Amino acid sequence: MIGGAWTILSITIAESLTLGYSVSKETISGLGSPIFSGTCNEVPSCVTPIQPASAIFVFAKFLNGILWLWSGSILRSATGHRRFALAISVVGVANILVGASYLPFYLGGTSAGVVVASGAVHAAGALTTFVLTPIAAISTYRFTPVPLRYFSLVLGAFSLAANFLWLTGNYFGLGYGGMERMVAYPLYLWGSGFGASIMGGPELDTPVSDATSSS
């Protein structure tokens, strides 16, 4: 819950602090470094992070990743849904990879080789997050109570559909950055909702048929 809420707030703050930033044209990752924005490709001029926006965003990625990992560990020990818990942990690692991809730039690395290596790490982390998280959200339909199961199903499916549109260049007027947000924001909302639902220790092992009959 904390990770999703803090990430949304951090993105909003970083956007406001980045002069000339376009929500429609630039990716969320561009808040960490313009080289990942999708609009600035010159090396080294586009590599240098814009502060303090970058630090706020990168810290949020690390915090989010750590909290996902922690959640995965708790779920693995407290429930029988080990594959789901593993998926949550992998998403945590993916978020940390995204955050770590900016560190070479903070250390002064601006060469083409550094950018390519950081870009590969960044892409791996981002792609894993954008594919695995919505699948994990949809999978909770089997063992979460109403209305959370419908909330998870809708947001997961919406994010997957938006991801397909984004990757195929169909932006429906939202722009490259706008469509990417249609992928990411539902996941942050789901993470916040799912996290809030388990804070009180709800039953996550109830079969769909049993939960439906008892509701």
Helices (H), 140-215: 148-167, 175-198, 208-214
Average confidence (pLDDT) over 103-125: 96
Average confidence (pLDDT) over 156-182: 97
Distance CA(148)–CA(167), nearest Å, equals 28
Digit-coded pLDDT (tens) for 125-146? 999 999 999 999 999 988 888 8
Please give the pLDDT value at position 202: 47
Distance CA(166)–CA(179), nearest Å, equals 6
Tell me the three state secondary structure of residue 84.
helix
> Does residue 58 carry a pLDDT above 70?
yes
Top-confidence residue, 90 or 201: 90
Average confidence (pLDDT) over 74-81: 83
